[in-house]
């Protein structure tokens, strides 16, 4: 049987940028060919893409690390290295992507747009970039930058308008099968549904909605094993809950107690979820014994709790069409399915130790490298004034400018920081 996987942790790595080349123009009749080392290619990025044919995260169960291709190194004759190919990871619609360290939401993959989850590193400049009238033979080039690496959690939350909740074996799967195009496996024993089933309900021309049969809320409760909360994440997005209760008493259960137990579980999982609009469907009415007061007791209890109450028999389809019409009507008044807003903010590197920065001096060009600086550059948007200002403050705070002045930097010299060039002014 196919395993349902709805939460995994993986590592994604952008490709490394290729190194720039140190090369000089060599041609028979050219007396002094200049530098012509090409740039390294940028590394490929890791991109998340929605695939509507996927319904679980099973593909990620056995492979946990995903890396895009590195960029190729530059070559002579000003030939740039080839860009690394991006890596496209396909995931089911409705997957919420979280940062593994903070558990904050990075993106909700529900809209269908691609998302770059790990950027490739920039390619390094070749020595052709560093030629000036006073430095005609630069014998240095830049190495490519590392790609972004991060650990993320993929969490599948189904995109359904309506969630069916209730004890196992109350008829949720049967109700879904008789009202929609879904064909869940149904058997007469407890804990039948091992993963959520989705079905589209067509009520009228142009009127349809998606309904999910959510398993496992009280999985193992009869043995005191507690509840299977894992699947409850799939009703986080549902706009409306249909609570299916078995009123037949065929399993010596009390429908009022069942109703209260499920409501308590929803509340324990999430107060927000317990306040979601709910319709109660009393199922298996055709199996009700004439002397039973189950239906009447449940109706009074449910209406007292402020929920609408409907009698159905999923097995014989009695009342199911009317219930679906009521559900469709109710959905028209409710807000759309929740799309989660991003919460994650990339940490910005704070000022580091200038002694950990490596400074190379070539004439009027100063090349500065270091792990802290590399991280800082990756988080700065150089098109934005405030971001550039923050960058300048961090360089001053870490004492870099003071160290450069000690080493004899002059006004107008070029400071090269990971392929970004700045003219030094005191």
Residue 238 exposed, middle or buried by CB count within 10 Å (0-12, 13-18, 19+): buried
Lateral strand order in the sheet of 87-91:
87-91, 46-50, 115-118
Residues 6+ apart with CB under 8 A from 227: 216, 217, 218, 219, 220, 221, 265, 268
Whose CA is closest to 424, among 406, 394, 404?
Answer: 404
Q: What is the pLDDT of residue 342?
A: 87
- C-alpha 394/C-alpha 158 separation (Å) is 44
For the ranges 215-219, 266-270, 340-344, 360-364, which has the lowest average pLDDT?
215-219
Residues 6+ apart with CB under 8 A from 212: 158, 160, 162, 163, 164, 196, 197, 198, 199, 234, 235, 238
Whose CA is closest to 400, among 388, 389, 391?
Answer: 391
Cβ–Cβ under 8 Å, residues 209 and 191: no
Residues 6+ apart with CB under 8 A from 277: 239, 240, 241, 330, 334
- C-alpha 14/C-alpha 87 separation (Å) is 8
pLDDT at 283 over 60: yes
Asked: is 348-426 a CATH 3.30.300.350 domain? The reply is yes
The percent of residues above 90 in pLDDT, for the chain, comes to 28
Cβ–Cβ under 8 Å, residues 288 and 295: yes
pLDDT range class, residue 311, cuts 50, 70, 90? very high
- C-alpha 419/C-alpha 72 separation (Å) is 17
- C-alpha 266/C-alpha 248 separation (Å) is 23
Residues 6+ apart with CB under 8 A from 220: 191, 226, 227, 228
pLDDT range class, residue 226, cuts 50, 70, 90? very low
pLDDT digits over 229-249, tens only? 566 777 788 899 999 999 987
Q: What is the pLDDT of residue 327?
A: 94
pLDDT at 1 over 60: no
C-alpha of 74 from chain center: 34
pLDDT at 347 over 80: no
For the ranges 204-218, 273-287, 289-303, which has the lowest average pLDDT?
204-218
pLDDT digits over 16-47, tens only? 999 888 888 776 655 566 788 888 999 999 99
- C-alpha 176/C-alpha 160 separation (Å) is 13
Domain ranges of the chain: 1-156, 162-331, 348-426
pLDDT digits over 45-72, tens only? 999 999 988 877 888 888 999 999 999 9
- C-alpha 349/C-alpha 368 separation (Å) is 17
Question: Cα separations (Å) of 320 from 54, 105, 281?
Answer: 29, 38, 9
Indicate whether this model's pTM tops 0.75.
Answer: no
Pairing mode, if any, of strands 278-283 and 87-91?
A: unpaired
Strand partners, 365: 362, 414
Residues 6+ apart with CB under 8 A from 79: 38
More reliable by pLDDT, 329 or 58: 329
Q: What is the pLDDT of residue 186?
A: 46
Cβ–Cβ under 8 Å, residues 323 and 314: no
Question: Cα separations (Å) of 100 from 32, 95, 111, 114, 117?
Answer: 55, 15, 22, 20, 13
Mean pLDDT of the chain: 82
pLDDT range class, residue 223, cuts 50, 70, 90? very low
Q: Sign of the C-alpha dihedral, residues 166, 169, 175, 181?
A: positive
Token pair recorded at residue 62: 């056995």
Query: What number is the average pLDDT over the span 149-158?
Result: 90
- C-alpha 319/C-alpha 327 separation (Å) is 12
pLDDT at 187 over 80: no
CATH class of 162-331: alpha beta
Q: Assign domain 1-156 to its CATH architecture.
A: Distorted Sandwich (2.70)
């Amino acid at each position: 049987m196919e395993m349902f996987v709805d939460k995994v942790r993986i590592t994604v790595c952008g490709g490394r940028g290729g190194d720039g080349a140190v090369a000089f123009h060599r041609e028979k009749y050219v007396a002094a060919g200049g530098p012509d080392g090409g740039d390294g290619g940028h590394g490929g990025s890791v991109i998340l893409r929605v695939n509507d044919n996927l319904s679980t995260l099973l593909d990620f169960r056995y492979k946990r690390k995903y890396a895009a291709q590195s960029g190729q190194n530059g070559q002579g004759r000003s030939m740039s290295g080839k860009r690394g190919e991006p890596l496209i990871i396909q995931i089911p619609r409705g997957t919420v992507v979280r940062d593994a360290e903070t558990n904050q939401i990075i993106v909700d993959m529900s809209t269908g747009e691609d998302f770059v989850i790990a950027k490739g590193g920039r390619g390094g400049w070749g020595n052709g970039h560093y030629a000036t009238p006073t430095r005609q033979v630069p014998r240095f080039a830049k190495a490519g930058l590392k790609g972004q690496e991060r650990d993320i959690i993929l969490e599948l939350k189904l995109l359904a308008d309506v969630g069916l909740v209730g004890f196992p074996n109350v008829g949720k799967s049967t109700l879904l099968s008789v009202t929609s195009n879904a064909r869940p496996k149904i058997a007469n024993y407890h804990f039948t549904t091992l993963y959520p089933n989705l079905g589209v309900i067509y009520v009228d021309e142009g009127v349809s909605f998606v309904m999910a049969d959510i398993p496992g809320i009280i999985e193992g409760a009869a043995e005191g094993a507690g509840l299977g909360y894992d699947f409850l994440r799939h009703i986080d997005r549902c706009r409306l809950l249909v609570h299916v209760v078995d009123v037949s008493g065929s399993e010596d259960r009390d429908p009022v107690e069942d109703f209260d137990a499920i409501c308590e579980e929803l509340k324990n999982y999430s107060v927000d979820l317990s306040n979601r609009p709910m319709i109660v469907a009393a199922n298996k009415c055709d199996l009700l014994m004439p002397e039973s007061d189950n239906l009447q007791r449940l109706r009074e209890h449910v209406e007292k709790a402020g929920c609408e109450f409907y009698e159905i028999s999923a097995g014989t389809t009695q009342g199911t069409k009317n219930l679906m019409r009521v559900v469709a009507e109710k959905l028209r008044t409710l807000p759309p399915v929740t799309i989660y807003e991003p919460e994650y903010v990339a940490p910005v590197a704070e000022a580091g130790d200038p002694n950990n920065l490596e400074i190379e001096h070539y004439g009027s060009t100063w090349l500065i490298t270091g792990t802290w600086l590399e991280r800082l550059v990756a988080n700065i948007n150089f098109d934005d004034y405030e971001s550039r200002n923050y960058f300048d403050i961090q360089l001053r705070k870490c004492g870099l400018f003071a160290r450069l002045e000690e080493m004899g930097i002059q006004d107008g010299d070029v400071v090269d920081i990971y392929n970004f060039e700045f003219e030094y002014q005191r």
